[in-house]
Amino acid sequence: MSLSTLTRPDVAAASGRGRVVVFWSAAVALPLIFLGVFFAWPVAVMIAKGFVVDGQLDLSGFADVFSRPRTWRIVGLTIAQATLGTVLSVLLGVPGAYVLYRHTFRGRTLVRAFVTVPFVLPTVVVGVAFRSLLVSGGPLGFLHLDGTFAAIVAALVFFNYAVVVRAVGGLWERLDSRAEQAARALGASPWTAFRTVTLPQLTPAIASAASLAFLFCATAFGTVLVLGGLQFGTIETEIWIQTTQFLDLRAAAVLSVVQLVVVAGTLIVAGRARSRREQALGLTLPSASVRPLRLRRPAGMPPGDGHALTLVATAVTALVVLLLALPLVNLVVRSLRTGDGWGLDHYTALGGWGTTGGSLSVTVWQATVNSLRVALDATMIALVVGGLVALVVSRRPRRAVGRRAVAGLDALFMLPLGVSAVTVGFGFLLSMHHPFGLPVDLRTSPLLVPIAQAVVAVPLVVRVVLPVLRAIDPRLREAAATLGATPGRVLRTVDLSIAGRSLGLAVGFAFAASLGEFGATSFLARPDRPTLPVVIFRLIGRPGPESYGMALAASVVLAVLTAGIVAACERLRAPGAGGEW
């Protein structure tokens, strides 16, 4: 067929198909280039420094590192902390999911938002909050838990409780309760009905939440560094110690590989569980499954109606909420305590510290402004890259090869959640000096810190937006296309209009993650432009009660910023929307 025989509609259709191909090609290529340049390349350079000697591959570092008793102790502590923290998070989180997502009561939205606060807090703040609670003279100082294994596990549960509650609760409120009611009608007790009917339906969500909690526990950095120091370190903190104190890049590289293998295995389990969980979503509307929370048995209600289970779950949830509030309230109280009594002295001092000497040349308030600017840049980058990844991964190709490619892309962009931020940060320093032979030194660029933070924030954006996009009925897109909408208009009117409200929560999580990122930023932040987590960590290391009081005050400022931003963004979310967290 010659060009002259083509009609104008044919040309327009061919042009439209060409634009679609270009768009989807760019949607795949741009995130892959970003991940390759700013994640895979720095990590590869960092690992290569440990395994390449005189231009030749040398794997003897594995035998050397694993022959050290210290390595096995660190690996054992990492597995023990992550396992125990995950088990406790699940045991406490499942009752919380039942109360907060299966029942309605006054103030439920407020309680839901509050239990999410620990998850969005920077890990340095969590460490400082628990340290102020457990030190001698603190409310729980009599327990002598400061610097112990139990303190670290408690902080990990504090951080990951919301992961279990949100992941399990999001599915539980949509489960059709008629199956459980049928089991009860056939004579099953409330516990038997839950164990044989409801629990199997919740297993994908529980497995997904447990995998993520294990991942976060195993890769915790700031919390373990503040609470455990050198005595109860993990693989993450050991990489930092080997890199910054011993300058042993070979040991750091070996540990990075070990951590990468563990993370990859965990992500595979989480991905499979998440796939089964998403298939179970949408069974019923939330309003059709939830019921009012009754703490007193109504008159005439027979025993064995499940009221006892509800009462136990409510008591456990109430106790956990109080325990979650204790470190936060104590952090605020301790920040107001001065040598002469009570006051805002520590907050006032934040505007002058650093101008009279010390390890920083800026005030804490200036560091706060710098953190906000960096987090804003990182959030914009993460939103673009993560949004494109979620858009591509949300598609369900008909061919098995396409489905495997989509699943692989999804898993690939989850890797930054588990790879050591220290490895990424130090890898930036090693790889961004004349990267790929280019005559430019990116280590002095102000964009390096927000890019490193965006690498960590991209998976959060994907996990928030992706379930919403996957829940869109494909028939909506087909109907829009049948009515004459172009592929671009279908994306705008169907995908973006439905997923748009979840973007608010994605922005909140990405901004909070960037605002509190410490591992990579501790390597990349310039002395004249430190971020607030870096300032807090340096304040903790300075002697004197004044520096410690200022660290508490700065931690409160950072906690209020992160919690406020996430709470504001979550209000933009449509009911029932949002992702896994």
Please report which confidence band the pLDDT of residue 17 belongs to, taking 50, 70 and 90 as the band edges: low
The residue that leads in pLDDT, 15 or 385, is 385
Q: Residue 30: which residues within 8 A CB-CB, separation 6 or more?
A: 385, 388
Q: Is the pLDDT of residue 545 over 60?
A: yes
* Of 445, 474, 571, 551, nearest in space to 127 by CA: 551
* Of 313, 300, 376, nearest in space to 168 by CA: 313
Q: What is the pLDDT of residue 161?
A: 94
User: What does each C-alpha distance from 483 to 476, 486, 531 come to in angstroms?
Assistant: 11, 9, 51
Share of the chain above pLDDT 70, in %: 85
Q: Is the pLDDT of residue 302 over 60?
A: no
Rounded to two decimals, the pTM is: 0.79
Select from 1.10.3720.10, 3.40.50.10190, 3.40.30.10, 3.40.50.150 the CATH code of 56-297+305-332.
1.10.3720.10
Q: What is the pLDDT of residue 421?
A: 77
- 4-22 average pLDDT score: 60
Q: What is the pLDDT of residue 188?
A: 77
- 142-166 average pLDDT score: 89
Instruction: Give the strand pairing for 56-57 and 52-53.
Output: antiparallel
Q: Determine the angle formed by the axes of helices 108-120 and 149-172, rounding to 10 degrees.
A: 130
Share of the chain above pLDDT 90, in %: 13
Q: Is the pLDDT of residue 502 over 90?
A: no
- 355-377 average pLDDT score: 77
Domain limits, CATH 1.10.3720.10, in the chain: 56-297+305-332, 357-581
Q: What is the pLDDT of residue 277?
A: 53
Q: What is the pLDDT of residue 378?
A: 94
The residue that leads in pLDDT, 522 or 323, is 323
Please report which confidence band the pLDDT of residue 292 belongs to, taking 50, 70 and 90 as the band edges: low
Please report which confidence band the pLDDT of residue 569 belongs to, taking 50, 70 and 90 as the band edges: confident
Mean pLDDT estimate for the chain: 79
Instruction: Give the strand pairing for 52-53 and 337-338.
Output: unpaired
* Of 267, 243, 266, nearest in space to 253 by CA: 243
Report the range of poorest mean pLDDT among 99-103, 109-113, 379-383: 109-113
The residue that leads in pLDDT, 291 or 188, is 188
Q: Is the pLDDT of residue 304 over 60?
A: no
Using one digit for the tens of pLDDT, what is the confidence trace for 25-79?
888 899 999 999 999 898 888 878 777 777 777 778 788 888 888 888 988 888 9
Q: Residue 551: which residues within 8 A CB-CB, separation 6 or more?
A: 128, 536, 539, 540
* Of 87, 116, 38, 165, nearest in space to 421 by CA: 38
Q: Is the pLDDT of residue 333 over 60?
A: yes
* Of 572, 574, 581, 470, nearest in space to 170 by CA: 581
Q: Is the pLDDT of residue 358 over 80?
A: no
Q: How far apart are the first and last CA of the chain?
A: 54
Q: What is the pLDDT of residue 320?
A: 94
Structure tokens at 495: 């995908």
Please report which confidence band the pLDDT of residue 119 belongs to, taking 50, 70 and 90 as the band edges: confident
* Of 533, 499, 540, 535, nearest in space to 517 by CA: 533
Look at the domain 357-581 and name its fold.
MetI-like fold (1.10.3720)
CA distance 112 to 18: 46
CA distance 80 to 234: 10
Please report which confidence band the pLDDT of residue 450 belongs to, taking 50, 70 and 90 as the band edges: very high
Is the CB of residue 519 less than 8 Å from the CB of residue 421? yes
Is the CB of residue 145 less than 8 Å from the CB of residue 134? yes
Instruction: Give the strand pairing for 103-104 and 291-292.
Output: parallel
Q: What is the pLDDT of residue 33?
A: 93
Instruction: Give the strand pairing for 341-342 and 337-338.
Output: antiparallel
- 342-350 average pLDDT score: 86
- 8-31 average pLDDT score: 71
Q: Which amino acid is residue 1, in one-letter code? A: M
Q: What is the pLDDT of residue 86?
A: 94
- Strand (E) positions, 272-359? 291-292, 337-338, 341-342
Query: Bridge partners of 433?
Result: 441
- 178-189 average pLDDT score: 77
Using one digit for the tens of pLDDT, what is the confidence trace for 213-225?
888 888 888 788 8
Q: Is the pLDDT of residue 8 over 60?
A: no
Please report which confidence band the pLDDT of residue 282 belongs to, taking 50, 70 and 90 as the band edges: very low
Q: What is the pLDDT of residue 283?
A: 46
φ, ψ at 53 (rounded to 5°) = -120, 120
Q: What is the pLDDT of residue 560?
A: 87
The residue that leads in pLDDT, 511 or 109, is 511
The residue that leads in pLDDT, 466 or 449, is 449
Q: Is the pLDDT of residue 322 over 90?
A: yes
